[in-house]
Homo-oligomer: A and B are copies of this chain.
Amino acid sequence: MKQDAPAALTLRDIASQAGVSLATVDRVLHNRPGVRPDTVRRVKEAIERNSFQPHVAAAELARGRARRFAFVMPSGPNLFMQQIQSYLGEMTAWLSARRLAVEMIATDVFDASVLASSLEALVGTYDGIAVVALDHPGVRAAINDLVEGGAKVVTLVSDVPSSRRHHYVGIDNIAAGRTAGALVGRLVGPRSDLSSGKVAIVAGSQGLRDHAERIFGFNQVMASEFVELSVLPVLEGRDEDERSWQLLARLLAKHPDIVGLYNVGAGTQGVARALMESGRDKQIVFVGHDVTVLTRKLLLQGVMDAAISQNPGHEARAAVRVLLALARGEPILSEQEKIRIDIVMRDNLP
Protein backbone atom coordinates (compact mmCIF):
# COMPACT_ATOMS: atom_id res chain seq x y z
CA MET A 1 0.00 0.00 0.00
CA LYS A 2 0.94 3.62 -0.39
CA GLN A 3 4.25 5.34 -1.02
CA ASP A 4 6.03 2.64 -2.87
CA ALA A 5 9.51 2.01 -1.56
CA PRO A 6 12.25 2.92 -4.05
CA ALA A 7 12.21 0.04 -6.52
CA ALA A 8 14.84 -2.44 -5.44
CA LEU A 9 17.77 -3.24 -7.65
CA THR A 10 17.97 -6.43 -9.67
CA LEU A 11 20.76 -8.55 -11.06
CA ARG A 12 20.26 -6.65 -14.28
CA ASP A 13 21.16 -3.33 -12.70
CA ILE A 14 24.29 -4.75 -11.19
CA ALA A 15 25.19 -6.29 -14.53
CA SER A 16 24.93 -3.03 -16.39
CA GLN A 17 26.77 -1.13 -13.67
CA ALA A 18 29.61 -3.59 -13.85
CA GLY A 19 29.46 -3.69 -17.62
CA VAL A 20 28.87 -7.44 -17.82
CA SER A 21 25.95 -9.75 -18.45
CA LEU A 22 23.41 -11.27 -16.13
CA ALA A 23 25.08 -14.66 -16.27
CA THR A 24 28.41 -13.30 -15.13
CA VAL A 25 26.95 -11.57 -12.12
CA ASP A 26 25.22 -14.80 -11.23
CA ARG A 27 28.52 -16.64 -11.45
CA VAL A 28 30.23 -14.18 -9.17
CA LEU A 29 27.34 -14.18 -6.75
CA HIS A 30 27.69 -17.92 -6.28
CA ASN A 31 31.45 -18.13 -6.47
CA ARG A 32 31.26 -20.25 -9.57
CA PRO A 33 34.45 -20.65 -11.61
CA GLY A 34 35.05 -19.32 -15.09
CA VAL A 35 35.28 -15.60 -14.45
CA ARG A 36 38.44 -13.54 -14.77
CA PRO A 37 39.63 -12.29 -11.34
CA ASP A 38 39.44 -8.74 -12.53
CA THR A 39 35.84 -9.13 -13.63
CA VAL A 40 35.02 -10.74 -10.33
CA ARG A 41 36.36 -7.68 -8.58
CA ARG A 42 34.34 -5.26 -10.67
CA VAL A 43 31.16 -7.20 -10.11
CA LYS A 44 31.77 -7.57 -6.39
CA GLU A 45 32.29 -3.87 -6.12
CA ALA A 46 29.02 -3.12 -7.82
CA ILE A 47 27.25 -5.54 -5.51
CA GLU A 48 28.91 -4.01 -2.48
CA ARG A 49 28.33 -0.44 -3.52
CA ASN A 50 24.61 -1.03 -3.82
CA SER A 51 24.48 -3.49 -0.95
CA PHE A 52 22.56 -5.62 -3.39
CA GLN A 53 20.52 -8.55 -2.13
CA PRO A 54 19.23 -11.05 -4.68
CA HIS A 55 15.52 -11.63 -4.44
CA VAL A 56 15.13 -14.97 -2.68
CA ALA A 57 11.78 -15.77 -4.21
CA ALA A 58 13.10 -15.35 -7.71
CA ALA A 59 16.10 -17.52 -6.95
CA GLU A 60 13.99 -20.23 -5.43
CA LEU A 61 11.65 -20.24 -8.36
CA ALA A 62 14.37 -20.36 -10.96
CA ARG A 63 16.28 -23.07 -9.16
CA GLY A 64 13.07 -24.98 -8.97
CA ARG A 65 14.40 -28.24 -7.56
CA ALA A 66 12.35 -30.00 -4.91
CA ARG A 67 14.33 -31.10 -1.88
CA ARG A 68 13.99 -34.14 0.31
CA PHE A 69 14.79 -34.27 3.98
CA ALA A 70 14.65 -37.19 6.40
CA PHE A 71 14.14 -37.14 10.15
CA VAL A 72 15.62 -40.18 11.88
CA MET A 73 14.03 -40.53 15.28
CA PRO A 74 13.52 -43.09 18.01
CA SER A 75 10.73 -45.57 17.65
CA GLY A 76 8.87 -46.13 20.88
CA PRO A 77 6.56 -44.17 23.12
CA ASN A 78 8.72 -41.18 24.04
CA LEU A 79 6.23 -38.33 24.35
CA PHE A 80 8.76 -35.64 23.59
CA MET A 81 9.77 -37.24 20.32
CA GLN A 82 6.14 -37.66 19.41
CA GLN A 83 5.66 -33.95 19.92
CA ILE A 84 8.46 -33.12 17.54
CA GLN A 85 6.89 -35.39 14.96
CA SER A 86 3.51 -33.84 15.45
CA TYR A 87 4.89 -30.34 14.97
CA LEU A 88 6.56 -31.51 11.79
CA GLY A 89 3.18 -32.76 10.73
CA GLU A 90 1.70 -29.31 11.29
CA MET A 91 4.22 -27.89 8.89
CA THR A 92 3.11 -29.89 5.86
CA ALA A 93 1.39 -26.97 4.16
CA TRP A 94 4.37 -24.74 4.77
CA LEU A 95 6.68 -27.42 3.45
CA SER A 96 4.81 -28.24 0.33
CA ALA A 97 4.35 -24.56 -0.51
CA ARG A 98 8.14 -24.55 -0.72
CA ARG A 99 8.37 -27.85 -2.52
CA LEU A 100 10.05 -29.58 0.38
CA ALA A 101 9.43 -33.19 1.29
CA VAL A 102 10.12 -34.44 4.80
CA GLU A 103 10.07 -38.11 5.67
CA MET A 104 10.13 -39.70 9.10
CA ILE A 105 12.29 -42.73 9.70
CA ALA A 106 11.87 -44.57 12.98
CA THR A 107 14.74 -46.54 14.41
CA ASP A 108 16.13 -47.83 17.65
CA VAL A 109 18.36 -44.97 18.74
CA PHE A 110 19.37 -46.82 21.86
CA ASP A 111 21.15 -49.42 19.76
CA ALA A 112 24.16 -47.92 18.06
CA SER A 113 24.56 -50.54 15.37
CA VAL A 114 20.93 -50.45 14.34
CA LEU A 115 21.05 -46.66 14.20
CA ALA A 116 24.29 -46.68 12.25
CA SER A 117 22.97 -49.03 9.61
CA SER A 118 19.70 -47.11 9.35
CA LEU A 119 21.77 -44.05 8.59
CA GLU A 120 24.08 -45.80 6.14
CA ALA A 121 21.03 -46.88 4.19
CA LEU A 122 20.19 -43.24 3.52
CA VAL A 123 23.44 -42.32 1.80
CA GLY A 124 22.68 -40.68 -1.53
CA THR A 125 18.94 -40.53 -1.00
CA TYR A 126 18.30 -37.22 0.75
CA ASP A 127 19.41 -33.64 0.54
CA GLY A 128 19.35 -33.32 4.28
CA ILE A 129 19.02 -35.49 7.36
CA ALA A 130 18.11 -34.64 10.94
CA VAL A 131 18.98 -37.34 13.42
CA VAL A 132 18.50 -37.89 17.13
CA ALA A 133 21.81 -39.59 17.58
CA LEU A 134 23.62 -41.75 20.05
CA ASP A 135 27.23 -40.71 20.41
CA HIS A 136 29.01 -43.86 19.28
CA PRO A 137 31.86 -44.56 16.86
CA GLY A 138 29.63 -46.43 14.44
CA VAL A 139 27.07 -43.67 14.40
CA ARG A 140 29.77 -41.08 13.97
CA ALA A 141 31.11 -42.97 10.95
CA ALA A 142 27.64 -43.22 9.44
CA ILE A 143 27.11 -39.50 9.84
CA ASN A 144 30.43 -38.81 8.21
CA ASP A 145 29.49 -41.07 5.32
CA LEU A 146 26.28 -39.14 4.82
CA VAL A 147 28.18 -35.87 4.77
CA GLU A 148 30.69 -37.42 2.38
CA GLY A 149 27.80 -38.38 0.14
CA GLY A 150 26.80 -34.73 -0.11
CA ALA A 151 23.92 -34.61 2.34
CA LYS A 152 23.54 -31.91 4.96
CA VAL A 153 23.33 -33.41 8.44
CA VAL A 154 21.87 -31.90 11.58
CA THR A 155 21.91 -33.61 14.96
CA LEU A 156 18.76 -33.10 16.95
CA VAL A 157 18.30 -33.04 20.75
CA SER A 158 21.46 -35.08 21.37
CA ASP A 159 24.69 -34.18 19.64
CA VAL A 160 27.62 -36.09 18.16
CA PRO A 161 30.16 -33.30 18.35
CA SER A 162 33.07 -35.31 17.02
CA SER A 163 31.27 -36.11 13.78
CA ARG A 164 31.21 -33.93 10.70
CA ARG A 165 27.53 -33.00 11.17
CA HIS A 166 26.89 -29.47 9.98
CA HIS A 167 24.83 -28.27 12.88
CA TYR A 168 23.35 -29.22 16.22
CA VAL A 169 19.78 -28.25 17.03
CA GLY A 170 19.17 -28.68 20.71
CA ILE A 171 19.97 -27.34 24.11
CA ASP A 172 23.23 -27.22 25.99
CA ASN A 173 22.56 -30.21 28.19
CA ILE A 174 25.22 -29.40 30.75
CA ALA A 175 23.62 -26.04 31.34
CA ALA A 176 20.24 -27.75 31.50
CA GLY A 177 21.54 -30.03 34.24
CA ARG A 178 22.96 -27.07 36.10
CA THR A 179 19.64 -25.32 35.86
CA ALA A 180 17.87 -28.37 37.25
CA GLY A 181 20.39 -28.48 40.09
CA ALA A 182 19.91 -24.83 40.92
CA LEU A 183 16.16 -25.27 40.97
CA VAL A 184 16.23 -28.32 43.20
CA GLY A 185 18.67 -26.61 45.54
CA ARG A 186 16.85 -23.31 45.72
CA LEU A 187 13.40 -24.83 46.05
CA VAL A 188 14.47 -27.27 48.74
CA GLY A 189 15.79 -24.21 50.53
CA PRO A 190 16.37 -24.26 54.26
CA ARG A 191 14.36 -27.45 54.46
CA SER A 192 17.79 -29.01 54.46
CA ASP A 193 18.43 -27.63 57.91
CA LEU A 194 18.12 -31.27 58.73
CA SER A 195 21.48 -31.22 57.00
CA SER A 196 21.15 -34.84 56.05
CA GLY A 197 19.06 -33.95 53.00
CA LYS A 198 19.52 -36.33 50.10
CA VAL A 199 18.83 -35.94 46.41
CA ALA A 200 17.90 -38.75 44.03
CA ILE A 201 18.57 -38.88 40.29
CA VAL A 202 16.73 -41.06 37.81
CA ALA A 203 18.11 -41.20 34.27
CA GLY A 204 17.46 -43.28 31.15
CA SER A 205 21.04 -44.33 30.73
CA GLN A 206 24.34 -42.68 31.45
CA GLY A 207 25.44 -43.92 28.06
CA LEU A 208 23.23 -41.37 26.36
CA ARG A 209 25.23 -38.25 25.87
CA ASP A 210 22.44 -35.86 26.73
CA HIS A 211 21.62 -37.68 29.94
CA ALA A 212 25.25 -37.91 30.97
CA GLU A 213 25.74 -34.21 30.34
CA ARG A 214 22.69 -33.25 32.33
CA ILE A 215 23.84 -35.32 35.27
CA PHE A 216 27.27 -33.78 35.02
CA GLY A 217 25.85 -30.26 35.17
CA PHE A 218 23.52 -31.18 37.99
CA ASN A 219 26.32 -32.56 40.12
CA GLN A 220 28.46 -29.54 39.39
CA VAL A 221 25.93 -27.20 40.95
CA MET A 222 25.20 -29.53 43.82
CA ALA A 223 28.84 -29.83 44.70
CA SER A 224 29.56 -26.14 44.49
CA GLU A 225 26.44 -24.44 45.73
CA PHE A 226 24.45 -26.88 47.78
CA VAL A 227 27.02 -28.80 49.75
CA GLU A 228 24.53 -29.55 52.46
CA LEU A 229 22.64 -31.79 50.03
CA SER A 230 24.10 -35.18 49.25
CA VAL A 231 23.44 -36.73 45.87
CA LEU A 232 22.61 -40.43 45.75
CA PRO A 233 23.93 -42.72 43.01
CA VAL A 234 22.10 -42.40 39.68
CA LEU A 235 19.28 -44.85 38.99
CA GLU A 236 19.09 -46.02 35.38
CA GLY A 237 15.50 -46.56 34.33
CA ARG A 238 16.10 -46.86 30.58
CA ASP A 239 13.34 -44.30 30.08
CA GLU A 240 10.86 -47.05 30.98
CA ASP A 241 8.03 -46.39 33.41
CA GLU A 242 8.01 -49.78 35.07
CA ARG A 243 11.70 -49.96 35.71
CA SER A 244 11.94 -46.35 36.87
CA TRP A 245 9.10 -46.96 39.27
CA GLN A 246 10.69 -50.04 40.82
CA LEU A 247 14.09 -48.47 41.28
CA LEU A 248 12.81 -45.25 42.73
CA ALA A 249 10.25 -46.88 45.02
CA ARG A 250 13.01 -48.97 46.53
CA LEU A 251 15.26 -45.94 46.95
CA LEU A 252 12.56 -43.87 48.60
CA ALA A 253 11.84 -46.64 51.06
CA LYS A 254 15.47 -46.91 51.95
CA HIS A 255 16.09 -43.19 52.44
CA PRO A 256 13.45 -41.36 54.43
CA ASP A 257 15.48 -38.18 54.22
CA ILE A 258 15.28 -37.58 50.47
CA VAL A 259 14.34 -33.95 49.86
CA GLY A 260 14.96 -33.59 46.12
CA LEU A 261 14.49 -35.62 42.96
CA TYR A 262 15.81 -35.03 39.46
CA ASN A 263 14.35 -37.03 36.62
CA VAL A 264 16.80 -36.68 33.75
CA GLY A 265 14.94 -38.36 30.92
CA ALA A 266 11.61 -39.99 30.23
CA GLY A 267 9.94 -42.68 32.30
CA THR A 268 8.17 -39.86 34.07
CA GLN A 269 5.03 -41.84 34.66
CA GLY A 270 6.93 -44.39 36.71
CA VAL A 271 8.89 -41.80 38.62
CA ALA A 272 5.76 -39.88 39.53
CA ARG A 273 4.00 -43.04 40.57
CA ALA A 274 6.77 -44.04 42.96
CA LEU A 275 6.84 -40.56 44.41
CA MET A 276 3.11 -40.38 44.92
CA GLU A 277 2.85 -43.85 46.35
CA SER A 278 5.44 -42.92 48.91
CA GLY A 279 3.11 -40.19 50.07
CA ARG A 280 5.99 -37.76 50.09
CA ASP A 281 5.25 -35.95 46.82
CA LYS A 282 4.48 -32.68 48.58
CA GLN A 283 7.66 -32.71 50.62
CA ILE A 284 10.10 -33.72 47.95
CA VAL A 285 11.13 -31.17 45.34
CA PHE A 286 10.73 -32.84 41.94
CA VAL A 287 12.32 -31.42 38.83
CA GLY A 288 12.21 -33.14 35.43
CA HIS A 289 12.39 -32.46 31.72
CA ASP A 290 10.01 -31.43 28.97
CA VAL A 291 6.42 -30.32 28.93
CA THR A 292 4.15 -33.16 27.84
CA VAL A 293 0.56 -34.01 28.67
CA LEU A 294 1.95 -35.91 31.61
CA THR A 295 4.38 -33.40 33.08
CA ARG A 296 1.79 -30.69 32.53
CA LYS A 297 -0.62 -32.58 34.73
CA LEU A 298 2.01 -33.21 37.37
CA LEU A 299 2.95 -29.53 37.44
CA LEU A 300 -0.65 -28.48 37.86
CA GLN A 301 -1.13 -31.02 40.63
CA GLY A 302 1.90 -29.71 42.41
CA VAL A 303 3.63 -33.08 42.32
CA MET A 304 6.28 -31.74 39.99
CA ASP A 305 7.82 -28.39 40.83
CA ALA A 306 9.51 -27.45 37.58
CA ALA A 307 10.22 -28.85 34.15
CA ILE A 308 13.30 -27.99 32.16
CA SER A 309 12.06 -27.80 28.64
CA GLN A 310 13.24 -27.44 25.10
CA ASN A 311 10.44 -26.21 22.88
CA PRO A 312 9.68 -29.15 20.56
CA GLY A 313 7.90 -27.00 18.01
CA HIS A 314 10.86 -24.71 17.82
CA GLU A 315 13.22 -27.65 17.48
CA ALA A 316 11.24 -29.13 14.64
CA ARG A 317 11.05 -25.85 12.74
CA ALA A 318 14.66 -24.96 13.46
CA ALA A 319 15.86 -28.31 12.14
CA VAL A 320 13.96 -27.85 8.91
CA ARG A 321 15.07 -24.26 8.46
CA VAL A 322 18.68 -25.11 9.15
CA LEU A 323 18.64 -28.00 6.69
CA LEU A 324 17.04 -25.76 4.10
CA ALA A 325 19.55 -22.96 4.63
CA LEU A 326 22.40 -25.45 4.41
CA ALA A 327 21.01 -27.00 1.26
CA ARG A 328 20.57 -23.62 -0.39
CA GLY A 329 23.88 -22.32 0.82
CA GLU A 330 22.21 -19.50 2.72
CA PRO A 331 23.43 -18.20 6.07
CA ILE A 332 21.93 -19.66 9.24
CA LEU A 333 20.32 -17.17 11.60
CA SER A 334 22.00 -18.56 14.68
CA GLU A 335 20.15 -16.38 17.13
CA GLN A 336 16.86 -17.59 15.74
CA GLU A 337 17.82 -21.24 15.60
CA LYS A 338 19.33 -21.45 19.04
CA ILE A 339 17.24 -23.60 21.35
CA ARG A 340 16.79 -22.15 24.79
CA ILE A 341 16.56 -23.89 28.11
CA ASP A 342 13.09 -23.09 29.34
CA ILE A 343 12.13 -23.32 32.97
CA VAL A 344 8.47 -24.17 33.17
CA MET A 345 6.53 -23.95 36.38
CA ARG A 346 2.81 -24.09 36.94
CA ASP A 347 2.20 -20.43 36.18
CA ASN A 348 4.11 -20.16 32.93
CA LEU A 349 2.97 -23.39 31.36
CA PRO A 350 2.83 -22.75 27.61
Query: Which residues of chain A have a CB within 8 Å of any CB of chain B?
Result: 1-5, 7-8, 51, 53-58, 60-61, 65-68, 87, 90, 93-94, 96-99, 101, 124-127, 150-151, 175-176, 178-179, 181-183, 186-187, 189-191, 217, 221, 305, 308, 311, 313-314, 317, 331, 333, 335-336, 338, 340-348, 350
Contact of A5 among B66, B87, B217, B221 (CB under 8 A): B66
Cross-chain contact B97 with A56 (CB below 8 angstroms): yes
Subset of 24 A-B contacts with CB under 8 Å: A5-B66, A5-B99, A51-B96, A53-B96, A56-B98, A94-B333, A175-B347, A178-B348, A179-B347, A181-B347, A182-B345, A182-B347, A183-B345, A189-B189, A189-B190, A190-B191, A311-B340, A313-B336, A314-B336, A338-B350, A340-B342, A340-B350, A341-B348, A343-B343
**Who on chain B is nearest to A327 by CB?**
B1
Cross-chain contact A345 with B343 (CB below 8 angstroms): yes
Residues of B within 8 A of A342 (CB): 340, 342-343, 348
**Who on chain B is nearest to A341 by CB?**
B348
Residues of B within 8 A of A190 (CB): 189-191
Cross-chain contact A61 with B57 (CB below 8 angstroms): yes
| Given known A-B contacts A2-B124, A175-B348, A97 and B336 have beta carbons under 8 A apart | no
Minimum distance in angstroms from A79 CB to a CB of chain B = 17
Minimum distance in angstroms from A17 CB to a CB of chain B = 17
Cross-chain contact B345 with A2 (CB below 8 angstroms): no
The secondary-structure label for the interface of chain A is mixed
| Given known A-B contacts A53-B96, A179-B348, A151 and B1 have beta carbons under 8 A apart | yes
Which of A98, A101, A181, A340 has the most B CB atoms < 10 Å from its CB? A340
Can you add 6 more A-B contacts, CB < 8 Å, to A57-B98, A90-B335, A217-B347? A5-B66, A5-B101, A51-B96, A55-B98, A183-B345, A340-B348
Give A235 to B96 CA distance when docked, in angstroms. Answer: 53
**Who on chain B is nearest to A186 by CB?**
B187
Residues of B within 8 A of A346 (CB): 182
Cross-chain contact B8 with A99 (CB below 8 angstroms): yes
The 6 closest A-B pairs by CB, nearest first: A189-B189, A57-B60, A343-B343, A178-B347, A341-B348, A5-B66
